Structure 1
Amino acid sequence: MPSGETIVQCLKKKGIVCGVKLDKGLLPLIGSEGECTTSGISDLEQQCQFYKSFECHFAKWRCVYRVGDNLPSSLAIFNNAEILARFANVCQYHRLVPIIEPEILPEGKHTLLRAQKIAETVFSALIKSLNNHHIYLEGVILKINFVTPGMQGRSVYTPAEIAATTLTVLNRTIPAALAGIVFLAGGSCEDEATAFLDAINQPIGRRPWPLSFSFARGMLHSVMHTWAGDEDKVEDARKVLMQRAKSNNWAALGEYVLKKEKMLQKLKKEEEKRKALLGFEHNKKLKTHAFNDKTEDSDESAASI
């Protein structure tokens, strides 16, 4: 930064807490059918010490689970659960809040029911590993997908149905003690992810945890499309980003649909006012034109006399 401050210090002044992704990407899981595990656990302690010294306060670790006829395998489920628990243990030892991300990939033709069963199995194994490692659940944030059918399937569900299924999975597997749950957009488009988030924050069932969002592509796709590398479009892109952030904030409060309806009503009224004003100006011009024509006719008549 020009002032000599680090980015972390600059953000801290604005009340923004910084964190870091500590996993080093995916590795093939030996003995599986093309499944993956995550690397970076060997020097995790040194990484935690380093980033804590730079005033980072949370860290994230991602493991992925492929869905297939016989996937995810028991090997992948329990191996990744163990890695996520070890990550959480080291983070808490160094006073970093662990954000654990067991991402069930949306690719496939699986049904919503199968997606539900897989999520329940994965989350149950994860919680068991966290408990085995004596993790302080009140200091853990879980980052997950919404429970949806495979992207290549033909089934279509409403946001309310996706929300109800996801909430069923969470209530069956996740202890109320957990600090909070944030959702990633996964394979969903921006509006779809926001609609899912809004639906799950409606009073449809037991929700003992805060349910919020951790979107990347789910917020930035329209921003990048607006900007498209054009410096003249930077301000327009910022406005789009702010609107996406507001929409997702409303959704995290369960107010997105209501706010959207009010916003649309406001825009409709403004459009009606604009049309009315244009109509008034148009009529005024017509009357002025007609008056001028009459004046010219009168002048011509007077000249003839």
Structure 2
Amino acid sequence: MSDLLETVAGLVAPGTGILAADESVATMSRRLVRAGVDATPANRRDYRALLLTTPGLGQWISGIIFCDETLGQSLVDGTPFPFAARERGIQPGIKVDTGVSPLPFTDGVTVTEGLDGLRDRLERFRAQGATFAKWRAVFNARVCATAGGRSAKDSGRRGIRANAHGLARYAALCQEAGLVPVVEPEVVMDGDHHISVCERATANVLAQVFAELDLMGVDARAIVLKPNMVVPGTQSEAPVLAAEVARRTLKTLRAHVPPAVPAIAFLSGGQRNDQACANLRAINELAAEEAAPWRLTFSFGRALVDDALATWRGDPDATAAAQAALAANCARAAAAHRYTPEPSPAVRP
């Protein structure tokens, strides 16, 4: 357990966050094609190499999450990605879920797959150099907000329980294998729902997730929680102040996340980098006032890397400019959780 606690401490080092570069092969390929880049293994490798080799990345990024393909690839000089990350002071992580499938006898609810054979895969990933892992479970805000009943026909309730159970079994297997589990229950932003809907859904999800983690014997001191912020839906028309996002988010976390959890690394969930950073800053300012028990940081993906991909577009001559765009976004995200007082703007989801 001491090794796990040491890994957690490194992942949540002050002034740093986690970079999520773990899109599946299919998702990464679609993004490359939209950017005008052929979706080949070499181009996927070159893009991830661009991110990892950004000068000074270790100043802001303590961990980077790869997909299975990237973990097994190497930089052009032959250095495997996990070792290249370590050389830069960045811990290598691995996404281990295999995506979602429909949950039987529900109306559109999904469950995250990947538990079959996970113990063996975790042993392989650790041998390849990974120090932590990630599993993402997806929750619909409106469905989960109304999942408080006890009816066996309640699709939201059943979806929450199925996904929370999967997260807990994954986390237990990770700790058994000597890997820190990043537990990611994401209430997605899709929809036109009010922020209060996201708040209720997030509360329902977190309550069940931590009940299942406890049931599976997971040590809360050796996990990183990667939740959504409490925000309105992407099609919501009313702007929401970052201060309100902070108030509702911290209220929900205080009610359902044990103080033993060392860190909460928020996902961006489709927010632009400026939106995610404004909300993160407000959350940390309020957390400092209230003496929240956790370190609050970021584990952003698209919010950090979209500008880099749009700049690069497969052109080697654009690598330096793309890396500069990534570095600027990473620096802003890191600054957003250093408790620097600053007016909190109104942001749209």
Q: TM-score range by the shorter chain?
A: 0.7 to 0.9
Q: Does 1:39 align with 2:134?
A: no
Deviation at 1:257, TM superposition (A): 4.2
TM (norm. structure 2) is 0.70
CA contact (8 A) 1:171 1:206 kept: no
Specify every segment of 5 or more residues in structure 1 that has no aligned partner in the other structure, as ranges: 259-305
Deviation at 1:226, TM superposition (A): 2.7
Counterpart mapping for 1:122-271 below 5 A: 122-202=205-285, 203-255=288-340, 257=342
Structure 1 segments of 4+ aligned residues over 6 angstroms from their partners: none
Letter aligned with residue 132 of structure 1: L
- The 10-residue stretch of structure 1 (129-138 or 3-12) with the greater mean CA deviation from structure 2: 3-12
Q: How many residues align?
A: 258
CA contact (8 A) 2:142 2:201 kept: no
- After superposition, what is the alpha-carbon deviation per residue over 1:200-223, rounded to whole angstroms, capped at 9, x for unaligned? 111342411111111111111222
Deviation at 1:94, TM superposition (A): 0.6
Letter aligned with residue 222 of structure 1: D
Partners in 1 of 2:129 and 2:316 — Cα distance?
33
Counterpart mapping for 1:114-125 below 5 A: 114-125=197-208
Partners in 2 of 1:2 and 1:162 — Cα distance?
43
Partners in 1 of 2:281 and 2:328 — Cα distance?
15
Deviation at 1:2, TM superposition (A): 5.7
CA contact (8 A) 1:164 1:204 kept: no
Rg larger for:
1
Partners in 1 of 2:89 and 2:100 — Cα distance?
33
Letter aligned with residue 129 of structure 1: E
Partners in 2 of 1:183 and 1:236 — Cα distance?
27
Q: Percent identity?
A: 31
- After superposition, what is the alpha-carbon deviation per residue over 1:36-89, rounded to whole angstroms, capped at 9, x for unaligned? 001110111011111111121100001101133656611001111110000001
Specify every segment of 5 or more residues in structure 2 that has no aligned partner in the other structure, as ranges: 1-74, 148-154, 344-349
TM (norm. structure 1) is 0.80
> Could you tell me which of 76, 86, 91 is aligned with 2:169?
86
Letter aligned with residue 217 of structure 1: R
Partners in 1 of 2:110 and 2:281 — Cα distance?
32
CA contact (8 A) 1:200 1:254 kept: no
Q: Does 1:73 align with 2:132?
A: no
Partners in 2 of 1:225 and 1:24 — Cα distance?
27
CA-atom RMSD in angstroms: 1.8
Letter aligned with residue 273 of structure 2: E
Letter aligned with residue 208 of structure 1: P
Q: Which has the higher contact order (CA 8 A, sep 6+)?
A: 2
Q: 1:256 to 1:7 in 2, by over 3 A?
A: farther
Q: Does 1:21 align with 2:106?
A: no
CA contact (8 A) 2:142 2:197 kept: no
Partners in 2 of 1:248 and 1:184 — Cα distance?
11
Deviation at 1:130, TM superposition (A): 0.6
Letter aligned with residue 310 of structure 2: H
> Could you tell me which of 50, 66, 74 is aligned with 2:124?
50
Corresponding residue of 2:80: 6
Partners in 1 of 2:327 and 2:341 — Cα distance?
15
CA contact (8 A) 2:195 2:230 kept: yes
Q: 1:228 to 1:256 in 2, by over 3 A?
A: farther
- SS for the counterpart of 1:27 is strand
Deviation at 1:152, TM superposition (A): 1.6
Partners in 2 of 1:18 and 1:242 — Cα distance?
18
- After superposition, what is the alpha-carbon deviation per residue over 1:222-266, rounded to whole angstroms, capped at 9, x for unaligned? 2223334443332222212111111111112123849xxxxxxxx
Q: 1:3 to 1:167 in 2, by over 3 A?
A: same
- The 10-residue stretch of structure 1 (95-104 or 109-118) with the greater mean CA deviation from structure 2: 109-118
